[in-house]
């Protein structure tokens, strides 16, 4: 059987559409990897451990907490701000309370402002890495362990930074995953 020109065009169109569909599914994880690697859009980096040395310079880290109206939770930091030496591993907690009458799974999105500080803001552990399930009336303390990379001192663009805001917004999970509270932190 000989392929006609129409068959070749049809086959090419099918391949292009299939390729575009594949790229659309890959776009979200690829964009997420790009943001985490570069700090683009205020996305902090992830790290296994803080640097061994700290700097005398300090930065004030402020915490902002928000909850989507579709999620019946209260959510706030234990402290509104902390002073952090560059390179110092800092541990802080946020409290979440389910004010609803049924178990709900939520997930947090996060960003850092100013955006130019994001590549230097690294999280070691965070409740935002996994979904959180809270039973009706339950409250938990959720830890965040982070540091600010001393390499921020070598960047002329970041020389003026004295304050960084770490902002979280909790949303109702679309997957309905049954994540464990033990993944989040301690019950409180």
What are the boundaries of each domain within the chain?
A: 1-38, 43-187
Question: Whole-prediction pTM value?
Answer: 0.69
**Three-class DSSP category at 56:** coil
Helix (H) or strand (E) segment spanning residue 20: helix 5-38
**DSSP H helical ranges for 52-136:** none
CATH of domain 43-187: 2.60.370.10
**Three-class DSSP category at 185:** coil
Answer yes or no: is pLDDT of 148 > 70: yes
**Three-class DSSP category at 25:** helix
Higher pLDDT, 131 or 40: 131
What region, left, alpha or beta, does residue 158 occupy, with left being phi > 0 and alpha being psi -120 to 50 degrees? alpha
* 74-83, 90-99, 147-156, range with the lowest pLDDT: 147-156
Task: For residue 114, give the DSSP letter.
Answer: S
Task: Give the C-alpha separation, 83 to 132, whole Å.
Answer: 28
Task: Give the C-alpha separation, 63 to 23, whole Å.
Answer: 36
Residue pointed to by tokens 């409740």: 127
Q: What are the pLDDT digits (tens) for 87-103?
A: 999 999 999 999 999 99
């Amino acid at each position: 059987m000989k392929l006609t020109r129409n068959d070749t065009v049809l086959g090419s169109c099918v391949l292009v559409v299939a390729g575009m569909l594949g790229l659309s599914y890959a776009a979200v994880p690829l964009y997420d990897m790009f943001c985490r690697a570069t700090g683009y859009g205020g996305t902090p980096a992830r790290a296994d451990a803080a640097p061994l040395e700290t700097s005398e310079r300090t930065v004030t880290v402020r915490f902002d907490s928000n909850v989507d109206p579709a999620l019946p939770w209260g959510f706030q930091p234990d402290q509104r701000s902390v002073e952090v030496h560059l390179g110092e591993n800092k541990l802080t907690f946020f409290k979440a309370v389910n004010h609803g009458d049924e178990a709900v799974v939520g997930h947090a999105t996060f960003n850092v402002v100013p955006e130019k500080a994001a590549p230097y803001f690294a999280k070691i552990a965070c409740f935002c890495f996994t979904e959180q399930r809270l039973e009706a009336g339950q409250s938990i303390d959720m830890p965040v362990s982070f540091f600010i990379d001393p390499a921020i001192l070598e960047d002329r663009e970041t020389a003026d930074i004295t304050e960084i805001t770490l902002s979280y917004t909790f949303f109702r999970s679309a997957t309905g995953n049954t994540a464990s509270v033990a993944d989040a932190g301690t019950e409180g």
